[in-house]
């Protein structure tokens, strides 16, 4: 990952708004319904042209493909790995359980439709999971990204996201009668060994790898909502172990790790404090930590990096833009958040400004209007410029 000695650089977390037509096609494909392949490829290309253009126009330094070809940031792996089937049922969040009025509000906002991607009714791991040996899915995504970048001014850096072993195994749960995985530990480590092929392909193509691992914080209020903190932290340790297993052939400075509490617009009153997580997260073999610090529930936790200092080899990518609200951050507010992160770690050269999470983590689930999302990325760049003037003069 590139750093800067003279200014604050910018990036984002991964998913960006898709075209309505592409979202519809992705959901249909997930449902096993026919979608003409040439029409799908053409719509992916059209969407990619838009998201790459929007990132460059906003002045971002490290850009990606917006996860355009994926139905979901984690569930896409079921198209690339065998062993999944049926339909599971994930636990509801503690927000839903404790605030029934909020639950009704969200149901009205999202709606109940067959046009929605699978988020809570995901497939189960029924047998041993195996990554497609041809790597066709990741190769196609890499090729479409390369084609969309051709003919443009080269960005400072490119990255591509991939689901972490932990988020895969807490989203697509292990069937209790799975004969190949008697325990969750068996399942988690097996998925890590399979996903390492995707991770290595991304880095070999010249991109920084971002591992999306919201499980390292979010599952405290879902799968472990009725467990004690210690039990949850033990699972976090297992997931970090799995990450390191999958990254054994990749240099740490080629990997950034995104951790979050979920990007739904809810109370988040039971989110685990970041101070409880940092000592474990620092064990991950990665060169940067991306974490939300731009929302009302977690902005105050920036100071945790003073009591739990960031390892010398790591960059901090603080989220300074909230992706769940259509409020457009003032660039001065963005600069304040960036400068708070610099003060917390004590090094202006190891802070890269980013967003809290993605704007389109699942096709059909978007809380921020597309034009507002692009304006937020512009505000991110403008805020970074203000912070640069404050920090460098």
Give the least confident one: 26-35, 104-113, 250-259, 296-305: 104-113
pLDDT surpassing 80 at residue 110: no
For tokens 């190769």, the residue is 139
pLDDT surpassing 90 at residue 328: yes
Where does the pLDDT of residue 200 fall: very low under 50, low under 70, confident under 90, or very high at 90 and above? very high
46-71 mean pLDDT: 97
Q: Determine the pLDDT at residue 111.
A: 67
Torsion sign across C-alpha atoms 43, 81, 194, 276: positive
pLDDT surpassing 70 at residue 333: yes
254-266 mean pLDDT: 96
d(CA 316, CA 292): 11
Q: Which two tokens stand for residue 228?
A: 């004690």
pLDDT surpassing 80 at residue 371: yes
d(CA 81, CA 232): 27
Q: Determine the pLDDT at residue 364.
A: 82
Q: Determine the pLDDT at residue 174.
A: 98
Where does the pLDDT of residue 318 fall: very low under 50, low under 70, confident under 90, or very high at 90 and above? very high
Q: Determine the pLDDT at residue 114.
A: 66
Under a CB-based contact definition with an 8 Å cutoff, are residues 364 and 27 in contact? yes
9-392 has CATH 2.40.50.100 classification: no
Distance of alpha carbon 112 from the chain centroid: 25
d(CA 274, CA 255): 20
Q: What average pLDDT is seen over the chain?
A: 96
- Rg of the chain taking only CA atoms, in angstroms: 20
Residues 6 or more apart whose Cβ sits within 8 Å of residue 36: none
Q: Determine the pLDDT at residue 382.
A: 98
Q: First CA to last CA across the chain, in angstroms?
A: 25
Sorted by where each begins, the domain ranges of the chain are 9-392
Q: What is the pLDDT of residues 169-178, one digit of tens each?
A: 999 999 999 9
pLDDT surpassing 70 at residue 112: no
Q: What percent of the chain has pLDDT over 70?
A: 99
Under a CB-based contact definition with an 8 Å cutoff, are residues 160 and 12 in contact? no
Where does the pLDDT of residue 367 fall: very low under 50, low under 70, confident under 90, or very high at 90 and above? confident
Under a CB-based contact definition with an 8 Å cutoff, are residues 354 and 12 in contact? yes
Torsion sign across C-alpha atoms 331, 3, 355, 277: negative
Q: What is the pLDDT of residues 124-143, one digit of tens each?
A: 999 999 999 999 999 999 99
Q: What is the pLDDT of residues 59-76, one digit of tens each?
A: 999 999 999 999 999 999
């Amino acid at each position: 990952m590139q750093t800067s000695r003279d200014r604050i650089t910018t990036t984002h977390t991964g998913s960006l708004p898709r075209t309505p037509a592409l979202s519809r096609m992705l959901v249909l494909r997930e449902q096993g319904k026919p979608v003409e392949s040439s029409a799908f490829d053409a719509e992916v290309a059209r969407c990619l042209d838009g998201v790459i253009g929007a990132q460059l126009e906003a002045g971002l330094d490290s850009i990606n493909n917006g996860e355009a070809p994926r139905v979901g940031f984690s569930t896409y792996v079921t198209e690339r790995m065998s062993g999944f089937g049926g339909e599971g049922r994930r636990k509801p969040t503690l927000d839903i359980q404790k605030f029934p009025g909020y639950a009704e509000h969200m149901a009205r906002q999202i709606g109940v439709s067959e046009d929605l991607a699978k988020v809570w009714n995901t497939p189960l791991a029924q047998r041993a999971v195996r990554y497609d040996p041809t790597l066709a899915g990741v190769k196609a995504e890499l090729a479409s990204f390369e084609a969309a970048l051709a003919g443009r001014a080269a960005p400072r850096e490119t990255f591509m996201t991939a689901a972490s072993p932990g988020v895969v195994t807490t989203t697509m749960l292990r069937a209790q009668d799975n004969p190949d995985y008697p325990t969750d530990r068996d399942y988690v480590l097996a998925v890590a060994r399979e996903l390492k092929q995707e991770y290595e392909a991304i880095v070999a193509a010249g991109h920084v790898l971002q591992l999306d691992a919201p499980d390292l914080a979010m599952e405290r209020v879902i799968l472990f909502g009725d467990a004690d903190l210690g039990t949850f932290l033990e699972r976090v340790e297992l997931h970090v172990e799995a990450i390191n297993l999958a990254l054994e052939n990749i240099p740490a400075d080629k990997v950034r790790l995104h951790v979050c509490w979920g990007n739904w617009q809810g109370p988040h009153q039971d989110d685990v404090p970041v101070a409880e997580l940092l000592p474990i997260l620092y064990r991950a073999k990665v060169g940067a930590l991306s974490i939300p610090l731009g929302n009302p529930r977690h902005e105050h936790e920036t100071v945790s990096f003073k009591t739990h200092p960031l390892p010398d080899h790591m960059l901090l990518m603080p989220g300074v833009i909230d992706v769940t609200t259509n409020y457009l951050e003032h660039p001065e507010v963005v600069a304040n958040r960036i400068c708070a992160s610099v003060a917390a770690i004590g090094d202006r050269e190891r802070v890269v400004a980013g967003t809290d999470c993605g704007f389109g983590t699942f096709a059909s689930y978007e809380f921020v209007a597309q034009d507002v999302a692009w304006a937020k990325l512009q505000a991110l760049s403008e805020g970074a410029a203000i912070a640069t003037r404050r920090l460098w003069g």
